Amino acid sequence: MTESLKSTQSIAPRNPISRALLFVLVGGHGRPLGATILIVLLALSMFPSLPALYDLRMALFDGYQKVAPRKRTSAPAVIIAIDEKSLQELGQWPWPRTTVAELIEAVAKNEPAAIGVDVLMPEFDRMSPASIAGLIERLDSKLAQRLAQLPSNDSVLANTLRRHPVALGIAGIEQKGTATASNRTAPFRIRGSDPTPYLRHFAGTLRSLEQLDAAAPGHGLLSVDPSGGVVRRVPLLASVDGVLTPALSMEVLRIATQTSAFVAVGEPDRVKGIGIGDIFIPTNADGTVWVHFGPHDEDRFVSAVDVLHGRIDPEQMRHKIALIGATGLGLLDYQTIPIGQRIPGIEIHAQILESIFEGSLLQRPDFLEKLERVILLTSGLILILAVPAVRPRTAALLYAVLIAGLLAAGFALYYWQQMLVDVAWPAAVCTLLFGVMLTGTLTEADRQRRALRLALDAEREAAARAAGELEAAQRIQMGMLPPPSAKFYGDPRFTLQALIEPAKSVGGDLYDFFKLDGDRLFFMVGDVAGKGLPASIFMAVSKALYKSAALRMEHGADIGEVMRAANQEIARDNPEMLFVTVFAGILDLRTGELNWCNAGHDPPFCLRPGEKIPVRLEGDSGPPLCVIEAYPYRPEHYRLLPGEALCLFTDGVTEAMNAADELYGRQRLFSVLKSSFGATEAIQLVNAVRDDVRAFVLDTERSDDLTILALRWNGGDV
């Protein structure tokens, strides 16, 4: 049992029910309560029609369109507006059917691809000659007889409809008693399963006068389904008393493309889409589409009176779809769209056609509901697991990043993929879970305060012991190395100075030097792979075994034999597979002859008197010790001049980094050594390099041990 539960139990009430309630609320840092809430809210997401869920989702989707409405990039349709200007010049609505016929004739002269009429004319025209004849029969019977013989206004309009590619609008009616059933619609071919059961269903339709309805080449539904007073989705096809019927926008598109029949594509449990010639338009499962709305645009409109009087450019309509509809404010045909504007109903059909041509209809595929539940579950689990594990400030940042990420991802999918993803419910659930988890965590933390205080005291005591042990280890490690200066030999033929600075309390760098006899000086610098305590232990073993190998060699043995023997000894017991780079040499103090060998280490620099340019001691270099067993290391030879100095170093010098993450580098070391020509003592070289590295690094924490060894040969006859 954890300390947190012990602490909770120590102050919990004795009543079992109260104890259980307390555990649910704060036990486990509130995770049980958070998990319970997540499961309940995840279950609620399976009922998207719930008012709270639906309203939240629609508010988010509307927000997408308000922030980034569709930008109009096409103009497949032009709206012939029965606007205020037309009503002022031609009289109040309804106009005589002859005027409507003249308007359609005037539109047709501009050669549109199809004409859609968003006007219902279900009654006889009272302005027809026969109707007027009945009114004036008592006043002038002969005039009344002549008027009665004239064709009716409805006949004139019917003849006009027959001659042109016109689709009349029809309105869907849900109540059978007031509906007119008619199968006068374009034919449909069904591909796949029958989509009829899944479509929006109407008992019948409200149509224009039978004479007009029969004359029109096409018929399309005007009905939209405002949800909460806002038009978001529009059915592209519906079922009218079991008969497949297209929307007006689809019907005019069919006429414009001269397609004889629609193709309704169904799947076993849904509608997949509608085809018109080479055009296929995916739909929702019920045959509707989410309209991607743009703002109201006056460029879509021309006034009906201007069309009648020929005051427009024919190119505005040529080969386009002309939509005739009422836009006058007194005609009340206005709908609210998601971006917050009220637009004429006819403009909705125009925007549908624009979205189809631009390929920008909004999508909400069936898999999105499952994806949204996965997002809800994942984000909720992240908060349940992470909030109790981090500080409140970090938890708040995590919550903010999570919410921002959800909103950004949802908007990005809308903006670039035209996909409506509901991240509002996951964001709301995350907000609730964050509050619950943060409250539970703070409550749990308060209950754990005394336990944590005791644990902190114990940790401080353990840390003090560990620090003391590391300090003792450092003293032991540094005590194994020879004194940094070789002055204790009292030999004027050379000066030697060494420096080692571990990056941690203990490190893996090493150096050593000692006389093999009165005239031969052995020296070495090494670097163990790794840092800290393991490297320091391996460093101590390596130094001891290498020195043992050097002292056991017979007089006259070369440094290559020493290296081979040391490699064998150090690699013998190396379960962690560590390795060490070594540069070692034997200097004949009488002649300046240097016998050296390099096992994967950085070559030293030579400072030859009179040359002023440091040079690297290049030669054959083998792999580090413990890498290749029985590797045949070969010795190299070099003769020092009197006054010549060697500078050996580890990568803690060249790879030292400053606050800008810049490396010290060999070029800077080269410059320091170049400026140190004329130094008469080895200690001057060591101090110059050390001081320059410190000036470069400043307060930046070192990541590697630093070791420098300088050897100057003064000559054999000093």
> Is position 466 within any domain?
no
pLDDT of residue 5 exceeding 50, the answer is no
Name residues whose C-beta falls within 8 Å of residue 393's C-beta, 6 or more positions apart in sequence: none
The pLDDT tens digits for 622-667 are: 899 888 888 999 999 999 999 899 999 988 888 888 888 889 988 9
CATH number of residue 571's parent domain: 3.60.40.10
The residue-averaged pLDDT of 596-600 equals 91
Q: Does residue 113 belong to any structural domain of this protein?
A: yes
CB atoms within 10 A of CB 621: 18
In degrees, to the nearest 5, what angle opens at C-alpha 298 toward C-alphas 296 and 301? 115
Contact status, residue 297 vs residue 72, Cβ threshold 8 Å: yes
| pLDDT given for residue 138 in this prediction | 61
Q: Could you read off the pLDDT of 352-399 as tens digits, one per residue? A: 999 999 999 999 998 999 999 999 999 999 999 988 888 889 999 999
Q: Based on the domain organization, do 142 and 285 belong to the same domain?
A: yes
Distance (Å) of CA 300 to CA 141, 224, 232, 472, 550: 49, 20, 20, 87, 97
Query: How far is CA 78 from each of CA 97, 350, 464, 624, rounded to the nearest angstrom?
Result: 22, 7, 84, 82
Pair 436, 516 in one domain: no
pLDDT band at 414 (very low <50, low <70, confident <90, very high): very high
Same domain, 543 and 513: yes
Question: Which backbone phi and psi does 650 adopt, to 5 degrees?
Answer: -105, 175
- The yes-or-no verdict on residue 484 having pLDDT over 70 is yes
Phi, psi angle pair for 549, to nearest 5°: -65, -40
351 and 500 share one domain: no
Q: Which of 358, 389, 405 is the last residue of a domain?
A: 358
DSSP annotation string for 470-514 = HHHHHHHHHHHSPPSB-GGG--TTEEEEEEEE-SSSS-SEEEEEE
Write down the mean pLDDT value for the chain. Answer: 85
To the question of pTM greater than 0.85 for the whole model, the response is no
Which pLDDT score, from 0 to 100, does residue 6 have? 42
3 state SS for 610-652: CCCCCEECCCCEECCECCCCCCCCCCEEEECCCCCEEEEECHH
Percent of the chain with pLDDT over 90: 48
What mean pLDDT is predicted for residues 29-55?
88
Q: Is the pLDDT of residue 242 over 90?
A: no
Question: What is residue 175's three-state secondary structure?
Answer: coil
Encoded amino acid at 257, one letter = T
C-alpha distance from residue 36 to each of 24, 29, 42, 423 (Å): 9, 13, 10, 21
Among the candidates 303, 335, 358, a domain finishes at 358
- Residues 132 and 43 both lie in one domain: no
Residue 307, in any domain of the structure: yes
Alpha-carbon span 9 to 33, nearest angstrom: 18
Q: Is 311 exposed, middle or buried (0-12, 13-18, 19+ CB in 10 A)?
A: exposed
For the beta carbon of residue 257, count every other beta carbon within 10 angstroms.
Answer: 13
Q: Which domain holds residue 375?
A: 3-68+365-447
Q: What is the DSSP letter of 407?
A: H
Contact 289, 233 (CB under 8 A): yes
Rounded (10°) CA dihedral 177, 183, 185, 191:
110
Record the tokens describing residue 357, joined without a space.
């041509």
Place of tokens 């920008």: 360
Residues 239 and 328 in one domain: yes
Shared domain for 354 and 369, answered yes or no, is: no
141, 32: one domain: no
Give the model's pLDDT for residue 2: 43
**Does position 504 have pLDDT exceeding 90, yes or no?**
no
Looking at the fold, whether 600 and 630 belong to one and the same domain comes out as: yes
| pLDDT band at residue 14 under the 50/70/90 scheme | low
Shared-domain flag, residues 613 and 566: yes
Indicate the number of domains in the chain.
Answer: 3
Q: Cα torsion at 469, 475, 478, 480 (round to 10°)?
A: -90
Alpha helices in 274-337 (DSSP H): 304-308
Considering the domain architecture, whether residues 579 and 674 belong to the same structural domain is answered as: yes
Same domain, 378 and 351: no
Does any domain span residue 373?
Answer: yes
Gyration radius of the chain over CA positions? 46
b/e sequence 340-353, b meaning 16+ C-beta within 10 Å: ebebbbbbbbbbbb
User: Does residue 325 form part of some domain?
Assistant: yes
Q: Of all helices (H) and strands (E), which one includes residue 253? A: helix 248-256
Residue 453 included in any domain: no
Look at residue 296 and tell me if it is in a domain.
yes
Confidence label for 681 from pLDDT (cuts 50, 70 and 90): confident
Residue 470 within any structural domain of the chain:
no
